[in-house]
Amino acid sequence: MTVPGIQQCTDLMARVQLPPHIQEHSLRVAQVSVFLGRHLNRNSVRLDLELLVAAALLHDIAKGICIDSGCSHAALGAEMLNDWGYPQLAPIVAEHVFISPAAVAAPINESIVVNYADKRVRHTDIVDLDCRFADLIRRYAKNQQHEQALHAKLELYRQLEQRLFEHVAIVPADLGKATQEDLSVGA
């Protein structure tokens, strides 16, 4: 299994001309993912940190393309990664937008960690779930039904957060401060 390193991920971002603000967001998601991954690995969860870093860095690889075309950046990103020879990253990227009740109950894996980390990062700021979902609703809810669906997803993310932080030595509110103390994304 070949996992791209940080430089390879940066090269892929340049290849698709990923806008700098999306690159910065992806770096912050990677930092949060690695912080959580390290803590989870210390407490009985087994995550591949190299896979976690690469998936987090590339989770929005197709977002620049899809901003203009309206396509699903998760689906296109997964397809691109498959085409580039990184099939192990594809499902993580494909699954980073929303989460199902089954995924919340399933064993903790890289996909869940990247998904959660993405929901804690608004642009480049680490925020709580309520703040992030308020932003998502403001930016993406097209109607009342879509807004209600996002509120339902928020409840699932709260459940996931509770599961994740059973294995982490900090409370969710301290994630931003704790992550600022360790900005490395290397495994």
State pLDDT tens for residues 164-178: 999 999 999 999 988
Q: CA angle at residue 56 from 163 to 88, to 5 degrees? A: 95
Domains in the chain: how many in total?
Answer: 1
Q: How far apart are CA 4 and CA 185, in angstroms?
A: 13
Q: How far apart are CA 153 and CA 53, in angstroms?
A: 25
Residue 11 lies in a domain: yes
Q: CA angle at residue 46 from 117 to 100, to 5 degrees? A: 45
β-pair partners for 125: 122
CATH number at residue 27: 1.10.3210
The larger pLDDT score, comparing residue 100 to residue 187, is at: 100
Does the structure show a pLDDT above 90 at 103?
yes
Q: Is the dihedral of CA 54, 60, 66, 67 positive or negative?
A: negative
Per cent of the chain over pLDDT 70 is 96
Element at 146 (helix H, strand E): helix 144-165
Does the structure show a pLDDT above 90 at 183?
no
**Cα atoms in the 13 Å half-sphere on the side-chain side of 107:** 5
Assign 185 a pLDDT band (cuts: 50, 70, 90). Answer: low
Kindly report, residue by residue over 75-95, the tens digit of the pLDDT. 999 999 999 999 999 999 999
Residue 74 near residue 44, CB atoms below 8 Å: no
Q: Round the average pLDDT of the chain to a whole number and report it.
A: 94
Does the structure show a pLDDT above 90 at 98?
no
Residue 186 lies in a domain: no
Element at 126 (helix H, strand E): strand 125-126
Q: What is the CA radius of gyration of the chain?
A: 15
Whole-model pTM: value is 0.94
Residue 1 lies in a domain: no
Does the structure show a pLDDT above 80 at 184?
no
Q: How far apart are CA 168 and CA 178, in angstroms?
A: 11
Residue 145 belongs to what domain range? 6-178
- Label residue 44 left, alpha or beta by phi (over 0 means left) and psi (-120 to 50 means alpha): left
Average pLDDT for 23-31: 96
Residue 42 lies in a domain: yes
Residue 183 lies in a domain: no
